[in-house]
Structure 1
Amino acid sequence: MPKALPVLHLHDSLQREKVVFTPLQSGTASLYVCGMTVYDYCHLGHARAMVTFDTWSRILRYWGLETRYVRNITDVDDKIIHRAAERQEPITALTERFIVAMHEDEAALGCLPPDLEPRATQHIPGMQALIATLIDKGHAYVAENGDVYYAVRSFPGYGKLSGRSLDELQVGARIEPDERKRDPLDFALWKAAKPGEPAWASPWGEGRPGWHIECSAMSTEALGCAFDIHGGGLDLQFPHHENEIAQSQGAGCAFAHYWLHNGHIRVRDEKMSKSLGNFVTVRDLIPIYGGEALRFFILSSHYRSPLQYSDDALAAAQNSLVRLYTTLRGLPPHELVPELGADWEARFVAALADDANTPGALAVLFELAREINRLREQGSELASPLGTLLRHLGGILGLLQQDPERFFQGEDEDADWIEAKLAERQTARVQRNFAHADAIRADLEAAGIVIEDSASGSTWRRR
């Protein structure tokens, strides 16, 4: 870490500008992120949120802040109920399966687990207590059928996060036939029980929480009535995060000090989403490109910008990683020499200090890789310690932590066969049977194996 870190800036969605990050409590940082609704496999849009806020938590920790990162799981919701009914399986079986799958995807993307991962079904009492407070304060009311609604017009600041006025929101708003709310803008805090749906006892009758109340309750239970950063995808800014503010501040909590939102993954200029059917799952892409390449692809664009998905873009990310791991290949571990890499690290950190400018940070990594390659060609002993610096800086972004040979070879089911062929080829070369050695090389190349010869021996990787 540089002796003097620059001031950390972030773009606060509420203030609509880049501001200096000042923790509410010196030396600490608290981060709450809206997590997955677990009724299906994670797609690349979910991966972007995972990687974005994993990176933010890494940055906060690099800045020396004792960081508490909380990301919830929504395990009761209309979509979950409908999917379980379609598949004729218990809701808990459905959600447990997709929670396991989500954790597998998270690990493949190089994301560290959050410090706390509360589930909605484990926090029903806290949600009910929050709803009761809102009723007492005149911000919520109980409908005839046992539903409880938030009265949007009771909260003067409604719309401040998304920049929408009540008049704008009123246009097109309507009340569904089965709803008992007083105003089309009001939203459900508690939903009265319906046949076949999960339900909990409450002062207003059997029912279940609305989606928005979940995060208000879980975030404040985990981090307190005021915390530093609330994050999530841009699509959550309205109405979900807007409603969270109304609920939490309506109940008397200061709530989040800063708001961060990551941009959408786009497919042919449309947002990637399950509702549009234009999504691709993380687990479908990992066998083709590898989880680290997906992470690199996400970090190659600023987190607030839209990111266009394509096979070519993912292949380019994979090739970029190949270049960096090729630089690290064959460099022995070396003790980090801060003075040697001070300028590289300062420029890398300056990029991160500018609202987590990961494309700028990656550019520094490639400049450093070019310098390492130049020094290695000259036979300089400085190549190895700078290689250690490259790995160190990459680690701040969750990259370049694999052994280079493992990266190139992966979990190849043909590894034993390939190694045997390489040994056979080496024997043929020693015996000066170059025709046989060339034939082995041709066989391997036909199988998609690239052989790289050097003074220290031969290595291989998949093309």
Structure 2
Amino acid sequence: MATPARTQPPWKEPQSTVPAKLKVWNSLTRTKNDFIPIDPEAKEVKWYNCGPTVYDDAHLGHARNYVTIDVLRRILAGYFGYNIKFVQNVTDVDDKIILRGRQQHLLANFKAENPELTAEVMITTVRAFDAYVKKNLPLLSPDVKPEDFNKESAEKYAAVISGKSLDGTGSPTDKEAKIKMHLKTAGSAATVLLAPSKSTEADVQEFYAGAEDVLLPYLDSLHGSSIDAEDHTVFTKLTQKYEARFNEDMRNLNVLDPDVVTRVTEYGPQIVTFVEKIVENNYGYKTSDGSIYFDIDSFEKTPGNHYARLEPWNRNDKDLQADGEGALTKKSTEKRGDADFALWKSSKPGEPAWKSPWGPGRPGWHIECSAMAGDVLGAQLDIHSGGIDLCFPHHDNELAQSEAHFSHSAGGHQWVNYFLHMGHLSISGSKMSKSLKNFTTIREALARGDWTARSLRIIFLLGGWHDGVEITDDLRKAGSSFESYVTNFFYKVRDIEQHPNTNSSGKEDEKMTKLFEASKEKLHNALADSFDTPTALRTISALITEFNSTDKSALSDTVVFDIARWITRIVRIFGLDGSADPNETTIGWSGIDIPTEAKPFVYAVARERDEVRQYAISGNLSDEVLSSIISKDKPAQQQDAAAIPYAEVLSTFQENLKSLAEKKAPAKEFLALCDALRDTHLWDLGIYLEDRENSHAMVRPVDAELRAARDQKEAIARQKREAKEKRDKEEAEKKAKLAEQAKLSHKEMFKTEEYSQWDDDGMPTKDAKGEDVPKSRTKKLRKDWERQRKLHEEYLKGVGQA
């Protein structure tokens, strides 16, 4: 269907007498637009976000989407001051969920009925393997046996396996990633089918784990239609489990909870009513099976209405259309247009159903968001957001059906003013996807320590929110560098809080204040330019660089604290400090402080250590000086249990100082004691003293960066030690070999089968055949003889023989 000529712009620019505070990249216009909320006083922003489809654990691609949306939400609320009503749905019924829930239910029943791997189980699994290969790996023989699978797949899919496109001429795409997934799935099933032992409980579990992904679709093809449509628990036990896990993942990533959560299964009646209105407005029609389809042609005949406004170039993409309709939707011959999409689907056997005027059915994928957003937020939204892959057909279909529902008069109805779409997260050029099974789940990544909530969020902040992100080593390094840079800045400011600079001249205050004001303006302009967080982070880094290069003795603490509080506020707005309030006056983010119960003792022992080192280095550490240092800090007789380890470090250090004084120890022993306090006693408690030239040691927690530096230092020392041990061993072996060789007399050394006659010195004169040894050969042998003579004579001297 050709795109009709537009009689007016498809997007109406919001109008306001108040100048816009920011511009946002709007997918509707594919450009930046002034952000003007519907609320004339700009107090409330109505925001609807497409939430998760809960049938599996969320992966890092989901983290990219939801963390980035959370960043934008926090900036709008925390920086620009908007009052946001944030609504997010949970898709707990759609074709994927129906399939997965049904398949998991059938597999669970099959495993319960077959706790042992009988011949019947093996036959069923072989048939499942055959069906999977025929459907998904067409280059293989349709009757390929499990034992031949690896060989044949290596031949037929060699290009894909080697990382090329299927035809071997280009780079791999999602198509090749999907083939790799199918090869892995079928290969796993082939492996367990060929495994020799299948008798123990562990064998049974291993078998089902390997065969699961071929059994699921096969069992569904046999028994899926037998599922009771009225028993929604078959599906909700799956969705409730993964919704809870999704929420846990989001909170672990410091993503704010939505203000309102809507679920499709709780909106059956409202969705029916919403569809009825579309039909009443003559934009929907019924087919004989009780399904309702959206009439795109009728919709576009009304002036002002346009379909596929977000991605008009995809409106005739049949693959995307089919994906939008779902795997369980059968092609209908009653559709008026090929692109018409289901608003309401007649439920087939084995699918959940709700009552409707058209018979038992279930919502189409797209209608859920329109109905739920309309119910909570009304007929018009300020913002609608989601991943970039939702543009078409999902969001384009939402737009059309919502505008068809809320108005059918000439001029149309604008449902959403700003569409915000987050870019993909990529791995080796392919987007991270559940369907491709090329993902790392959020909980796996956090549990392994690959990422923290902060480090992952920094990575996303370093990229444009609507651009794709591919995590590379360089990007990881950039994220780690920023986190370390800000952390070290906070360490320094916290140190100034403990040791105020009372002698500051203030000469640098004016210069630093100007730089600070310029940084605030630059960051504001960046955030107002469609949430340009990469520039914002660079601005913070640049300001810290200026602070680091400034003469601290000429900078007043007030200026330092003002800068630190501002940086703290911004990183908290970005969500980099857990649930901390951006408006709190405390400085820094979590992880920069030592335990509260440690502070009285650690700061005391650090102060004493500083003085001891100073006097020891200068050679003035007398008994009187030492007594004066120790007398300043006396640990209380009793402490809270949590404080005892730190109190013991202080008292032990003082006792050791006294012991060294009593035995008149040299300065180097006092300095060694100070090093042990830093490197062992406090380090083991998670605290480090960072020695600085011409200044006191800075107290800081032991963090990952310090541990990595120590590990690297110890690894280098270990390598050097091992290299020396190897050299010493080789030298010892060489000496032992020479010593053994020295026992042999030079007069006997050549008396071998190689020669037949020798002179009085033992030098060979004739070879084994009785021929004279050539002079050139004799010359060389004489040199060897002389070396051996010296060795042997040294040996004889050593054992006391003449």
Which residue does the alignment assign to 1:248? 402
SS in 2 for 1:190: strand
Task: Go from structure 1 to structure 2 and tell me whether the alpha carbon gap of 1:125 and 1:48 turns closer, same or farther (over 3 Å shift).
Answer: same
Q: Map Cα deviations across residues 156-183 of structure 1 (whole Å, 9 max, x no partner).
A: 21122212275x4469977998333413
Task: Go from structure 1 to structure 2 and tell me whether the alpha carbon gap of 1:290 and 1:425 turns closer, same or farther (over 3 Å shift).
Answer: farther
Q: Shift in Å at residue 311 of structure 1?
A: 5.7
Structure 1: stretches of 5+ with no match in the other structure:
none
Structure 2: stretches of 5+ with no match in the other structure:
1-17, 109-233, 301-305, 408-412, 498-512, 581-586, 596-640, 658-668, 708-802
Task: Decide whether the 8 Å contact of 2:591 with 2:701 is kept in 1.
Answer: no
Among 179, 183, 187, the residue aligned to 2:331: 179
The 5-angstrom pairing of residues 156-175 of structure 1 reads 156=300, 157-164=306-313, 168-169=316-317
2:573 & 2:346 partners in 1: Cα distance?
A: 47
Report whether the alignment pairs 1:229 with 2:383.
yes
The 5-angstrom pairing of residues 1-150 of structure 1 reads 7-26=21-40, 27=42, 28-61=44-77, 62-88=79-105, 90-150=234-294
Q: Shift in Å at residue 442 of structure 1?
A: 6.1
Task: Decide whether the 8 Å contact of 1:425 with 1:440 is kept in 2.
Answer: no
The 5-angstrom pairing of residues 307-456 of structure 1 reads 307-310=469-472, 313-314=475-476, 316-329=478-491, 331-332=493-494, 341-375=516-550, 377-378=552-553, 380=555, 381=557, 382-400=559-577, 406-407=590-591, 420=645, 424=649, 427-428=652-653, 431=657, 435=672, 438=675, 451-454=688-691, 455=696
Task: Decide whether the 8 Å contact of 2:526 with 2:535 is kept in 1.
Answer: yes
Q: What number of residue pairs does the alignment pair up? A: 451
SS in 2 for 1:103: helix
1:100 & 1:391 partners in 2: Cα distance?
A: 32
1:11 & 1:331 partners in 2: Cα distance?
A: 37
Task: Go from structure 1 to structure 2 and tell me whether the alpha carbon gap of 1:408 and 1:314 turns closer, same or farther (over 3 Å shift).
Answer: farther
Instruction: Identify the range of structure 1 (103-112 vs 375-384) with the bigger mean alpha-carbon deviation.
Output: 375-384
SS in 2 for 1:164: helix
2:648 & 2:592 partners in 1: Cα distance?
A: 18
Aligned-pair RMSD on alpha carbons?
Answer: 3.4
Task: Decide whether the 8 Å contact of 1:329 with 1:405 is kept in 2.
Answer: no
Task: Go from structure 1 to structure 2 and tell me whether the alpha carbon gap of 1:248 and 1:322 turns closer, same or farther (over 3 Å shift).
Answer: same
Which amino acid is the alignment partner of residue 18 of structure 1? K
Q: Shift in Å at residue 300 of structure 1?
A: 0.7
1:56 & 1:80 partners in 2: Cα distance?
A: 29
Task: Go from structure 1 to structure 2 and tell me whether the alpha carbon gap of 1:410 and 1:272 turns closer, same or farther (over 3 Å shift).
Answer: farther
| TM-score for both structures, normalised by structure 2 | 0.51
Q: Shift in Å at residue 65 of structure 1?
A: 2.1
Give the structure with the higher percent helix. 2
Q: Shift in Å at residue 233 of structure 1?
A: 0.9
SS in 2 for 1:118: strand
Instruction: Identify the range of structure 1 (83-92 vs 60-69) with the bigger mean alpha-carbon deviation.
Output: 83-92
Which residue does the alignment assign to 1:151? 295
SS in 1 for 2:366: helix
Which amino acid is the alignment partner of residue 480 of structure 2? Q
Structure number with greater Rg is 2
Instruction: Identify the range of structure 1 (191-200 vs 401-410) with the bigger mean alpha-carbon deviation.
Output: 401-410
Task: Go from structure 1 to structure 2 and tell me whether the alpha carbon gap of 1:16 and 1:405 turns closer, same or farther (over 3 Å shift).
Answer: closer
Which residue does the alignment assign to 2:135? none
Give the structure with the higher percent strand. 1
Report whether the alignment pairs 1:301 with 2:495.
no
Which amino acid is the alignment partner of residue 192 of structure 1? S
Q: Shift in Å at residue 237 of structure 1?
A: 0.2
Which amino acid is the alignment partner of residue 238 of structure 2? L
Report whether the alignment pairs 1:461 with 2:698.
no
Task: Go from structure 1 to structure 2 and tell me whether the alpha carbon gap of 1:459 and 1:405 turns closer, same or farther (over 3 Å shift).
Answer: farther
1:378 & 1:235 partners in 2: Cα distance?
A: 54
2:314 & 2:430 partners in 1: Cα distance?
A: 26
